[in-house]
Amino acid sequence: MTLLVLPTAAWAAQSSSANYQVNEVFFGAGGALNDCSANYCAKESVGETAVGSTSSANYEAQAGFNTNRTPYLQFIVNGTTTDVGVLSTGSTTTTTSTFSVKNYLSSGYSVVTVSNPPANNAYTLHNLTSPTAASAGTEQFGINLRANSSPTSFGADPAQIPSSSFSFGAAATGYNTPNLYKYVPGDTIASSTKSSGETDFTISYIYDISNLTAGGYYSFNDVLVATATF
């Protein structure tokens, strides 16, 4: 039996030069792009010898019959409201939050923190502008994205899901040293230089106050922005 597949002339190219473009070319033992029952659909292929992402300094490719042509960015911030209670000059207050990023068909992504440091009306908690250790009694606010042992054991290193073979997100410089904290609005705190599977990040926050830190309620609304370049 001869199976004839007529290539379609899709005008929206996935790969193109000034003169040529290629759309969904498949040379393989078999498969189906849209194999559906009443409730489920599957995309199938047979005979692949290598799949996944491969890259050089300047190029990256997604190998496999079932690669998707749609660029993708998934950015999930586990938005919670945390009350860390009453701050003290005698000890550092810590807390954590998490977010995850994955993207596809991109040149990577960056996650920027855009919020101002915690503020109590017009009074803003002093933010650490360079990586600094926590110091009880000294007013400071900072974060990092690592597992820490000081001032206490808290936080976590970036977790690559399912593994570091597929996911490549990393904490950014300034935020990638355990036990050192920094916070500068507008800084990139996490990034990947290529398409990446899911990376789960944990932000570790430290709060320290001095005797001069103004009394009142301090609110920090941490807004993170993920930007992917395609």
Partner 1 sequence: MSRLETLRLSIGRVGAILLTIVFGLAAQAQFLPATVGAAGQISSRSITLSSSAISTATNYKIKFTPVTTAQELIIDFCSNSPLVGDSCSFSSSTVPTVGSLTSDVGTPSSVGSGSPVHTIKVTGLTMTGGSPFTINISAGITNPSTPVTFYARILTYTTGNAANYAPANTTGNTPTTGSGNVDTGGIALSTASNIQINAKVFETMVFCVFDTTCGTAPVLTLGDPTTGALSSSSAYINTTAQYTLATNAGSGVAVTMTGQTLCRVTPLNFSNCPTGASASTITAIGNTATAVNGGHFGTEQFGTCAGINGSSALTAVSPYNDSGCPTTATTNGAYSGAVTFGFNDSSSAGGTNNAAGSTILSSTGAVPSVTSNFAFVANISATTEAGLYQSNLNLVATGTF
Q: Which of residues 100-129 bind partner 1 (CB under 8 A)?
A: 103, 106-107, 112, 114, 118, 120, 123
d(CA 194, CA 163): 15
What SS3 state is found at 79? Answer: coil
Among 136, 159, 184, 214, binds partner 1 (CB under 8 A): 214
* Exposure on the CB side of residue 158, measured as CA atoms within 13 A: 26
The b/e string for 197-218 (b: 16+ C-beta within 10 A; e otherwise) is bbbbbbbbbbbbbeeebeeeeb
Q: Which of residues 65-104 bind partner 1 (CB under 8 A)?
A: 69-87, 93, 95, 97, 99, 103
Q: Which is nearer to partner 1, 77 or 136 (CB)?
A: 77
Q: Does 1 help bind partner 1 (rule: CB under 8 A)?
A: no
Dihedrals φ, ψ of 179, to 5°? Answer: 75, 5
Q: Does 177 help bind partner 1 (rule: CB under 8 A)?
A: no
Q: Does 217 help bind partner 1 (rule: CB under 8 A)?
A: yes
Q: How many residues bind partner 1 (CB under 8 A)?
A: 75
Q: Which of residues 17-36 bind partner 1 (CB under 8 A)?
A: 18-23, 25
Q: Which is nearer to partner 1, 82 or 164 (CB)?
A: 82
Length of the chain: 230
Which residues have a Cβ under 8 Å from the Cβ of 164 and sit 6 or more positions away? none
Minimal distance, residue 104 CB to partner 1, in Å: 8
d(CA 223, CA 225): 7
Q: Which is nearer to partner 1, 26 or 130 (CB)?
A: 26
Q: Which is nearer to partner 1, 71 or 164 (CB)?
A: 71
